[in-house]
Structure 1
Amino acid sequence: MDEADFTDFVTHRGAALLRTAFLLCGGDRGAAEDLLQDVLERAFPKWRRIRGRPETYLRAALANAAANRWRSRSRRVREVPLHDGTPPITPGPEHQVVEEDRVVRALDALPPRMRAVLVLRFFDDMAEKDVARALRCSTGTVKSQTSRGLARLREVLDDADLPDPVHERNFL
Structure 2
Amino acid sequence: MEKQWYTISVYSENNVGLLNRISGIFLKRHINIEGLNVSKSEIEGVSKFTIVVFTTEEWTRKIVGQIEKQVEVIKAYYHIDDETIYQESALFKIKSDLLFDERQIQNIIKESNSQIVTVARDFFVISKTGRRNEIDEMHDALEPYGIMQFVRSGRIAVSKAEMPITNLLQEFQNQ
In which range does the TM-score fall when normalised by the shorter chain?
A: under 0.3
**TM-score, length-normalised on structure 1?**
0.28
After TM superposition, the score normalised by the length of structure 2 is: 0.27
Would you tell me which structure has more strand in proportion to its own residues?
Answer: 2
